[in-house]
Structure 1
Amino acid sequence: MYVANDWQDYEVIDTGDGEKLERWNDVILRRPDPQIIWPIKDENRQWREVHGHYHRSSSGGGQWDMKKQLPDRWTVSYDQLKFYIRPTNFKHTGLFPEQAANWRWMMDKISAANRPISVLNLFAYTGGATVAAASAGASVVHVDAAKGMVSWAKENLALSGLEDRPVRFITDDVFKFVQREQRRGNHYDAIIMDPPSYGRGPSGEMWKLEHSLYPFVESCLEILSDKPLFFLINSYTTGISPTVLNNILSMTVKKRYGGKISAGELGLPISRSGLNLPCGILGRWEEE
């Protein structure tokens, strides 16, 4: 497991009964998590006196119960990186803190490359990986279909004092964008992707990760440079094993470029129990 264990502004305090108790800087939130199938050992005052508690609805979705007044958004820091946090209608906060394990890895890879590195971040959300890569000196193209998420990512870059870095923010369908980059003859030294489980393209095309991920990774080979640095796939799709990502990268990127692959779970430490909370999976290819 790749554990993001070097946070100062974020902490999983405790877990149990399908929920996690989290600290985002000085804000305490209580949110559901389907991986937590063990009981709360001690539902103490800290569990009850939270700033916000997200309740799932039996009919789907859910809503926040804000128990203490919160600003519209606030800031957390990871090393020199800064991010805006805001509870959304879908229980999320605009950041997946377990991804810090990937940020640290890619910053180290970019810094040690001793050459200009161009990064393509697909399904890029609010730009955690974009900010990390830019901070390490890479040029970045950030692509997401949601205009609001791209705006949030721009704000995160500026919040980190990196607005002068060579980052292009593009609101577009990632599949169409990759196809256009192929036609333009553009290439990247590193590709990051965090594809959804399900989705639809601009013309109603159905994306289902089990059917679509392999051909999409294969198409991304055509926009890799002659000497790529890394290729990173994240997934939060239930039932997909890290070995699946290992196999896909072996059959595509490694087959063409050699290099090495690592795959596994992403996790966060749980302060109260000393255990680790699983938070999705990753597959990494890197040059040797």
Structure 2
Amino acid sequence: MDGYELLDAGDGRRLERFGAVVVDRPAPSAAEPRQDPAAWSSADLAFSRGSGWSGSNPGRPWTAEVSGLTFELRATESGQVGLFPEQASNWDWLRDRTIRREPANSDADVPILNLFGYTGAATLALASAGAAVAHVDGSRPAVAWARRNASLSGLADRPVRWLVDDADGFVAREVRRGRRYRGVVLDPPSYGHGAGGRSWRLDARLASLLADSTALTRGAPELVLLTAHTQGFGAARLRDELAVALRRPARDVDAGDLFLDARSGARLMLGAYARWPAQRVNHER
């Protein structure tokens, strides 16, 4: 995967290479023993809950090229670095669906909606394939980070609207305005806070957000991608939730696990996806 490699995982942690930097950080799903204990001494940065980051200059950002896109990475207070490589097969799928659009549906000015867009990987995958995108995230720093990634990837001139907004509120307003989108991408968190500090929980809000956001496609989406990293929201549940929102049979929705395979032979499970229309691509990374 170009500038990313999972080196090993186990004992509740993951060892990864992002570009030239090797990172050791928590991974609750890595319950098995480590496969390559000697490799862990190569870490440049390590994160532990409670004590934070340690290593060589953890405050300095760096870059890595992954799936043909260039990302700014940095050690954040949450233990993240700004990229979720387990989504790479979904970026490939988004590109493929965008490139394969039929001429009759080639409304180039009608955007694809990316909710919870974070640092912009899905947005950039879509933009690199020629799509217009509305990128929505509630964090102003995250949106600024995504725009820097667009510049680093040579995509700053693409038709992307960068929006700092609450996903639920934005979708509700777009429904009232009668706006249309060609497709929807959603990567919602387990929980958070929406407009006015209201609490937001995936189990309470997913069904209504899916119904409202897919309604913006007016019953004719070119693509819908839903991913989650929340216990209880496996592939089967995401498939069923998306099928209900689209009013289509569950068999028409492709769903599966998000995971990474390590150089050591370990496998790290990292969530699930559901996407419509069903089109299987290799998601082993």
Partner SS state of residue 183, structure 1: helix
Alpha carbon RMSD of aligned pairs, Å? 1.9
Matches within 5 A, 1:39-188: 39-44=33-38, 46-57=39-50, 62-66=51-55, 68-69=56-57, 72-114=60-102, 115=106, 116=108, 118-188=111-181
Q: Percent identity?
A: 37
Moved over 6 A (4+): none
Match of 1:4 in 2: none
The superposition leaves residues 196-231 of structure 1 with CA deviations (integer Å, 9 ceiling, x where unpaired) of 111222134332111210111111132114531111
What is the alpha-carbon distance in structure 1 between the residues aligned to residue 80 and residue 241 of structure 2?
29
Q: Report the AA paired with residue 260 of structure 2.
A: L
Partner SS state of residue 257, structure 2: strand
Task: State whether structure 2 residue 32 is matched by structure 1 residue 38.
Answer: yes
Q: Report the AA paired with residue 85 of structure 1.
A: L
Q: Decide which moves more: 108-117 or 177-186.
A: 108-117
The superposition leaves residues 21-42 of structure 1 with CA deviations (integer Å, 9 ceiling, x where unpaired) of 1111111110110001111244
Counterpart pick for 1:17 among 5, 11, 17: 11
Match of 1:211 in 2: 204
Aligned pair count reads: 274
What's the offset of the Cα at 1:69? 3.9
Match of 2:282 in 1: none
Match of 1:3 in 2: none
Give the TM-score of the pair, scaled to structure 1. Answer: 0.90
What is the alpha-carbon distance in structure 2 between the residues aligned to residue 175 and residue 183 of structure 1?
13
What is the alpha-carbon distance in structure 2 between the residues aligned to residue 55 and residue 227 of structure 1?
46
Q: Report the AA paired with residue 270 of structure 1.
A: A
What is the alpha-carbon distance in structure 2 between the residues aligned to residue 52 and residue 72 of structure 1?
11
Match of 2:183 in 1: 190
Q: Structure 1 residues 55 and 70, CA, compared in 2 at 3 Å: closer, same or farther?
A: closer
Match of 1:263 in 2: 255
The superposition leaves residues 211-253 of structure 1 with CA deviations (integer Å, 9 ceiling, x where unpaired) of 2101111111321145311111110112222111111111121
Give the TM-score of the pair, scaled to structure 2. Answer: 0.91
